[in-house]
Structure 1
Amino acid sequence: MRLEKVDLNLFVVLDALYKEQSVTKVALLLNLTQPAVSNALSRLRKLFDDQLFVRTPEGMLPTPVADNVIADVRKALALLGRSILSNTRFHPAQSEKLFRLGMNDLAESLLLPKLRLRIKQEAPEITVQSYYIDRTMATEDLKSGGLDLLLDVPAVNAKEFNHVPLAQLPYVVAMRKKHPLSKLDLTLEGFLDSEHLHVSSRRKGRGQMDIALHALGQRRNIKMRVQSYLVAIEIASQTDLLWTAPKVLAEKSGLHTSAVPFNVEPLSWNLYWHKNADLDPASQWIRQLLMEVVSEVLGQP
């Protein structure tokens, strides 16, 4: 088949289906009707001579052919997008651009309210979508153009990306207001004798405080591990589990806080973007705006 006869919009649908695994979700994402998405999928199946996606109870799962072509499709879409952007001037006040940001719920809760207020003032038609996804997938999305920015700990090492340090969040020990330890000066012994709550997106692995304790030849008794900082607030406020949490969030949540009774490195955030976006005016604008929001919210330059 000759390329000039291929509708390039089909590849946008292919990318969205691979990510969302649902015709309904893709229709909402791309502002299309479900029949239009189904029609596009039918044309894609004819183009590739393959089912591409198979309906299962878990969603529309990709076939091996879809797995094999998706990386090239995303690279091509990203290249087209960058080609258009590089020749288009960016005016925030008139722009209707969609920015896709990768961050967890801690960053969302601290930064997105202020970011929304700033955008409403300066660029009211701009839309922001935030995703909390696996680090490996997030870096792939940065490469393909599926994400514009990634906010993460300093653990992303890829030559295709640039980054700047964004924030340092010191830790405190958080507990419910009437916790037995809330009236005492928290000691290392009291910390180690207690049961703990830990937040991590990973199934296993140590946090900053576990690394610090290991250096002291100690370990804490983690009785619950959750993915969400906002869920951790609810658990800490209703149980006797101690939660070593970022100070800014613990104080904002109304929990009682005590100093960590040993030295622990703060939580560090970096802001990552693809090198190809370095000179893109839209990327420069949202990066600068996000850094200003961090300064306003966290009081850090």
Structure 2
Amino acid sequence: MRLDKIDLNLFIVFEVIYREGNLTKSANVLNITQPAVSNALSRLRKTFDDQLFNRTADGMKPTPFAQNLIGPVREALWVLNNGVIDNDSFIPETAKRLVRISMSDLSSALVLPKLVPALRQLAPGIVLETQTINRDLVIDELSSSNLEFSIEAPVLMDQRLYHAPLISDSFVCVVRNGHPALSEPFTLENYLSLDHIHTSSRPSGTGHIDAALHSIGEKRKIKARMQNYLVAPKLVMETDLALTIPRRLAQVFDLTIIELPFSVPDYGLHLYWHKSKDADPGHKWMREMLLKSCEEDR
């Protein structure tokens, strides 16, 4: 089968159906009628000799064949949409570009304070849009060009993506200034005697600190759990609760930093992007800006 002989519009319809999971929504996105979408899907099914999507109570679910096809289709559509790239075509000072990045509130606090001022000075026409995308959806969002970048823990493994280390930071404990725990040497016993706030982007489960304690047969007393890394330090300022967070974030707040009395692996973040955008000069420039803004933290 010669894929280059297939009507390009059919690939566009295929990608939208895959993304929307609904023929009516797909018709609205494409600004065509639903019968036209159904007809295009019928032609695709005949071309590939596969159902591609099965109708279920939860919408149009892709078949295994469609799941294997979506990556190459999205890459081809991106290349066709952007055309042949001139390596000298990106001029930061005059560029007008929207850059969408998936990042948590923690990675925003670590990355944006240095990145945004640099962009304002060097490329004032670039607009940043940050959001938190579920890790399970990140690969599809990068593949469909809904995202330019994602900043994640180094756990995403996919042959369609490139990634580079962005931040590596040690953990420290923070307490309010004048906390009673500061009156004596900070031992493991003292750490475990404190009431702790557990912060994580995940709504449940353990994190780096509890895993490290578990490895030495210990457990801390968690009195509060929250997903917001920027609110937790504010609570620490007003209570005797303790908080264990990356050093760089701890330094932002007026809190006393204490070195941990046990070993914890460093906190790491990687920058992820789709391979199809690797040669785009604007994308490359933005990657370099992101990496440069964090080079002191690697």
Mark yes or no: TM-score above 0.5: yes
Report the CA distance between 1:154 and its aligned residue.
1.3
Supply the distance in 2 between the matched residues of 1:272 and 1:39 (Cα, whole angstroms).
31
Q: Residues 75 and 128 (structure 1 numbering): CA distance in 2 closer, same or farther, change over 3 Å?
A: farther
Structure 2 gap segments, 5+ residues each: 1-5, 39-55
Structure 1 gap segments, 5+ residues each: 24-37, 50-61
Q: Residues 164 and 77 (structure 1 numbering): CA distance in 2 closer, same or farther, change over 3 Å?
A: closer
Supply the distance in 2 between the matched residues of 1:181 and 1:84 (Cα, whole angstroms).
60
Q: Please identify runs of 4+ aligned residues in structure 1 that moved more than 3 A.
A: 2-6, 10-18, 38-49, 62-79
* Deviation readout 1:154-185 (Å, 9 max, x if unpaired): 11111221211122111110112232213332
1:118 is the counterpart of 2:115: no
Supply the distance in 2 between the matched residues of 1:216 and 1:123 (Cα, whole angstroms).
49
- Residues 127-276 of structure 1 mapped to structure 2, 5 A cutoff: 127-276=127-276
What residue number does 1:80 align with?
77
Contact 2:75/2:276 (8 A) holds in 1: no
- Residues 21-100 of structure 1 mapped to structure 2, 5 A cutoff: 43=32, 45-48=34-37, 64-65=58-59, 68=62, 76=73, 79-89=76-86, 90-91=89-90, 92-100=92-100
Q: Residues 154 and 74 (structure 1 numbering): CA distance in 2 closer, same or farther, change over 3 Å?
A: closer
Report the CA distance between 1:80 and its aligned residue.
2.4
Supply the distance in 1 between the matched residues of 2:268 and 2:28 (Cα, whole angstroms).
46
What residue number does 2:104 align with?
104
Q: Residues 12 and 193 (structure 1 numbering): CA distance in 2 closer, same or farther, change over 3 Å?
A: same
Supply the distance in 2 between the matched residues of 1:270 and 1:134 (Cα, whole angstroms).
16
Q: Residues 290 and 180 (structure 1 numbering): CA distance in 2 closer, same or farther, change over 3 Å?
A: same
Report the CA distance between 1:41 and its aligned residue.
7.9
Aligned residue for 2:159, secondary structure, equals coil
Contact 2:78/2:276 (8 A) holds in 1: no
Supply the distance in 2 between the matched residues of 1:98 and 1:208 (Cα, whole angstroms).
34
Aligned residue for 2:212, secondary structure, equals helix
Q: Residues 128 and 209 (structure 1 numbering): CA distance in 2 closer, same or farther, change over 3 Å?
A: same
1:300 is the counterpart of 2:293: no
Contact 1:15/1:74 (8 A) holds in 2: no
* Deviation readout 1:7-63 (Å, 9 max, x if unpaired): x7x999989978xxxx9xxxxxxxxxxxxxx975874545446xxxxxxxxxxxx97
TM value normalised by structure 2? 0.76
AA aligned to 2:101 is L
* Deviation readout 1:241-268 (Å, 9 max, x if unpaired): 2111111111211111111111111101
Aligned residue for 2:254, secondary structure, equals coil
Larger radius of gyration: 2
Q: CA RMSD in A?
A: 3.3
Aligned length: 268
AA aligned to 2:84 is N
TM value normalised by structure 1? 0.76
Supply the distance in 1 between the matched residues of 2:14 and 2:80 (Cα, whole angstroms).
17
Supply the distance in 2 between the matched residues of 1:238 and 1:228 (Cα, whole angstroms).
17
Supply the distance in 2 between the matched residues of 1:139 and 1:4 (Cα, whole angstroms).
23
Q: Residues 126 and 79 (structure 1 numbering): CA distance in 2 closer, same or farther, change over 3 Å?
A: farther
Aligned residue for 1:288, secondary structure, equals helix
* Deviation readout 1:112-136 (Å, 9 max, x if unpaired): 1322222222222111111112111
Q: Residues 121 and 67 (structure 1 numbering): CA distance in 2 closer, same or farther, change over 3 Å?
A: farther
Aligned residue for 2:294, secondary structure, equals helix
Contact 1:86/1:280 (8 A) holds in 2: no
